Amino acid sequence: MAEDVVDLCAALLRFDTTNHGGGNSAGEREAAEFVAAHLDAVGVEPTVLESAPRRGNVLARVPGTEPDLPALLVQAHLDVVPADAAEWSVPPFAGVERDGFLWGRGAVDMKDMIAMVLAVLGGWSREGRRPRRDIVLAFVADEEDRGEYGAQWLVEHHADFFTGCTTAISESGGYSYPVGDHRIYPIGTAERGTSHLRLTATGRAGHGSRRNDDNAVAKLLGALARISAIDHPVRLTPTVKAFIEQVGAALDVPVDLADVDGTIARFGPAARLVENTVRNSTTPTVLRAGYKVNVIPGSATAEIDVRTLPGTVDELLASIDVALGAEVRREFIASEPPVQAPIDSPWFDAMAAALRAEDPDAVVVPYCMGGGTDAKAFSRLGIDCYGFSPLTLPAGYDYRAMPHGVDERVPVEGLRFGARVLDRFLSS
């Protein structure tokens, strides 16, 4: 079986593991069987678990030479978001290598990470090496929806498999981010929480030509306008404060924590890494009301994407309730708390050391993710979760536009760099 990380990633990209949401997904079982076969070939015993028919998850444990050390969880998802082939320059599930990149849906989100881990395990097998500590592997379904067929299900039904794991690594961190002459490598040490809300207003249905002071649509629009106008204050979490201070020092930019917005504005391209994580956010995304232009509906609903920083959830929900008033009610569609892992830890230091060993000029900083990952599920087991899927990226390549974007691709040399970094880190 091919051990080259590029070949492995190309093979994974050729599995159409599109997750349409709502339980409608394809290809996860076939991808899980591919991963399991590879693990078996390199002497790692896999277990394939289905949370529902064809929703495959792969679990495995690589025994370490020092089993008394805390175990490390490496978790990655097999599913991907949809891709419209008509919009792409190449077929999104062909795993095409072109112009120094490997193209395909999932190239950076996150079949690259799976390929790098498998390549590392293949190298260990050939060379007769083992890690110091147990490495627990979880390649899961359904991250691109609600995780109920993947990480959430595993945490609820197979928590014993993760016994001894104190720390985990996964997506959204460890990649190079060029800023002038500097290469910043953000390691994910936190995530904003997710509180997706459904809002409902009710009123008196009637004819559209007649006066109606009890219009559900008008009530809802008023509430949404007030929510959009909420002035979210700056809240500096330990991760974000450290990011601002360390990036400011690296770029020789004056840092004024009394003027966070002004400081971030001086960061240039690096501002994109932090601007969405200094505040909470409340973003209306979905509206539903009515069925005919001349009929006033009796109800109207909206959904808002609410993202929360640690320690702010109750305060934010209270401000939303004030904005809603008495005539619009809210309910949770999803509610996942923020995630934080220690910045000052041997684990973070080991990740930074592995990056600097391959790139001595790396500026390694902690980073808060604006969105969310399966870390929210595994953190429920008391596991500190980090975003560490290392890549080195060429100038002009917009990494942050790749996940869920058209023409998603990963640099071939970046994959090989990432495999070397992971080898160093997982061996430490």
**304, 225 Cβ separation under 8 angstroms:** no
Residue 206 has pLDDT above 50, yes or no: yes
Alpha helices in 212-345 (DSSP H): 216-228, 238-251, 260-265, 313-324
Q: What distance, in Å, lies between the first and last C-alpha atoms of the chain?
A: 26
What backbone torsions phi and psi does residue 141 show, to the nearest 5 degrees? Answer: -90, 165
354-399: pLDDT as tens digits: 999 999 999 999 999 988 899 999 999 999 999 999 999 998 999 9
Average pLDDT in the 408-422 region? 98
**DSSP class of 51:** S
Does residue 191 carry a pLDDT above 70?
yes
Tell how strand 177-179 and strand 96-98 pair up: unpaired
Based on DSSP, count helices (H) and strands (E) in the chain, helices before strands.
11, 21
- Work out whether strand 71-77 and strand 165-170 pair parallel, antiparallel, or are unpaired: parallel
Say how many residues make up the chain: 428
pLDDT at 311: 85
Convert the pLDDT of each residue in 139-185 to its tens digit: 999 999 999 999 999 999 999 999 999 999 999 999 999 999 999 99
Predicted confidence at residue 2, as pLDDT, reads: 45
Mean pLDDT over 47-75 rounds to 97
pLDDT tens figures, 227-268 = 999 999 999 999 999 999 999 999 999 999 999 999 999 999
Q: Please give the structure tokens belonging to residue 114.
A: 């799976």
Cis peptide before 116 (omega within 30 of 0): no
Residue ranges in 128-201 assigned as alpha helix (H): 151-157
How far apart (Å, rounded) are the C-alpha atoms in residues 266 and 200? 41
Which tokens belong to 307?
């993202």
List % helix, strand, coil for the chain (3-state, nearest 5): 35, 30, 40
Q: Which residues contact 354 (CB under 8 A, 6 or more apart)?
A: 390, 421, 422, 424, 425, 428
CA distances from 410 to 100, 114, 188, 336, 373 (A): 9, 13, 19, 30, 20
Secondary structure of residue 70 in the 3-state scheme? coil
**Contact between residue 365 and residue 187 where contact means Cβ atoms under 8 Å apart:** yes
295-296 vs 206-207, strand pairing mode: antiparallel
Q: What pLDDT is attached to residue 371?
A: 84
What is the spatial distance between Cα 81 and Cα 403, in angstroms, rounded to a whole number?
9
